[in-house]
Amino acid sequence: MKRFLAAIAAAALLTSLTAFAAYPERPIKMIVPWAAGGDTDNIFRPFAPQFQKHVGQTVVIANVGGASGTKGAKEAKESPPDGYTLYSVHEYIHSTYYTGVADVNYTDFEPICLISSTPSVLTASPKTPWKDWKALLEDAKKRPGQITVGATLGSTSHFFPALVEKAAGIKFKYVSYEGLAPRMNAILGGHIDLTDSNLTQKGKVEAGQLRFIAIATEKRNAEIPNVPTLKELGVNVVYDVNRGLLAPKGTPADVLAKLESACAAAAKEPAFAEALKKQGTAARYLGRKEYSQWLKKNDDLNKTLAKDLGLLKR
């Protein structure tokens, strides 16, 4: 009997080891909950081949846009927890939950890693009459609720200008768009006055198609040294968008460990760092434990922000 039980235990151990060694046996789907060409897509596309190299299997990006990013979030949440569906995420997972846009929360997933951080820039159409923050502020006070801002409601592009509103004591009019690409098309066409963008739009600014008003960092950015920070203009707002990977709740620990290891190696690849630089983004790697702590802290912050901005629905 003892030999029989020992044989069963050995077989179970062998099966477990074989399963771990075998993963991944087929392509991994990485859900990007926005359309192709947006910031999240542009960051995860150069990350995917580096991640693929270290995880040892093909990684396929699936753009699942809609409903302020929540369509992709729901698909990721409902996917089997087997390591073959990953979810590319940023702060919107918190903000859309607390503003009532989505019923998907970060606690529905397992953290894998954080990979990047992108500072926000308040960006204007050149068709607007203002050249700087002072002129914008004066106009906003004269015409409360009339300056239009393109945003994905409940997401980071909504929270950032809302924080500027609150800090400056002004009021904007929001126009809803699904992600960065349609927002940029709208502002380039002069259909809206302002939006949240980043350093990826530097070329369009230099070409006179857009105008950077202020960047939401502690200090000026060396890439755009002539653009002031909001803080130096008297608007106490510092804001960036941080992107990482999650997996459906219940994904096995050994699979998560392999994914985390591949993520750590991919995040250190020089080719990825170079690609991030072109996106006006800095590499920011956090492993599972640190990322989990960061997500909790950021969730609390977004709940507080939603409450302070009068947007809290939960």
Amino acid at 176: S
pLDDT of residue 68: 80
Mean pLDDT over 60-79 rounds to 93
- The verdict on pTM exceeding 0.85 is no
Confirm whether 2-118+242-308 and 121-233 share one CATH topology: yes
Q: Is 102 helix (H, G, I), strand (E, B) or coil?
A: coil
pLDDT of residue 13: 44
What gap in Å lies between CA 87 and CA 27, rounded to an integer?
Answer: 14
pLDDT of residue 11: 47
Phi-psi region of 282 (alpha: psi -120 to 50; beta: other; left: phi over 0): beta
CATH number for the segment(s) 121-233: 3.40.190.10
Q: Is residue 10 predicted with pLDDT exceeding 80? A: no
Phi-psi region of 67 (alpha: psi -120 to 50; beta: other; left: phi over 0): left
Reported as a pLDDT band with limits 50, 70 and 90, residue 3 is: low
Extents of the domains making up the chain: 2-118+242-308, 121-233
pLDDT of residue 37: 84
List strand residue ranges (DSSP E) for the chain, in order: 28-32, 59-63, 85-89, 109-119, 121-124, 148-151, 173-176, 194-197, 211-215, 240-248, 282-286
Q: Is 5 helix (H, G, I), strand (E, B) or coil?
A: helix
Reported as a pLDDT band with limits 50, 70 and 90, residue 41 is: very high
Q: Is residue 50 predicted with pLDDT exceeding 60? A: yes
Q: Is residue 22 predicted with pLDDT exceeding 60? A: yes
pLDDT of residue 17: 43
Query: Mind listing the pLDDT tens digit for each residue in 78-117?
Result: 999 999 999 999 999 999 999 999 999 999 999 999 999 9
Cβ of 66: how many Cβ atoms within 10 Å? 15
Mean pLDDT over 183-211 rounds to 94
Phi-psi region of 123 (alpha: psi -120 to 50; beta: other; left: phi over 0): beta
Query: Mind listing the pLDDT tens digit for each residue in 132-177?
Result: 999 999 999 999 999 999 998 888 999 999 999 999 999 999 999 9
What Rg do the C-alpha atoms of the chain give, in angstroms? 22
CATH number for the segment(s) 2-118+242-308: 3.40.190.150
In the chain, the percentage of residues whose pLDDT exceeds 70 is 93
Lowest mean per-residue pLDDT among 11-20, 224-233, 281-290: 11-20
Q: To the nearest whole number, what is the mean pLDDT of the chain? A: 91
In the chain, the percentage of residues whose pLDDT exceeds 90 is 80
Reported as a pLDDT band with limits 50, 70 and 90, residue 179 is: confident
Q: Is residue 5 predicted with pLDDT exceeding 70? A: no
pLDDT of residue 279: 83
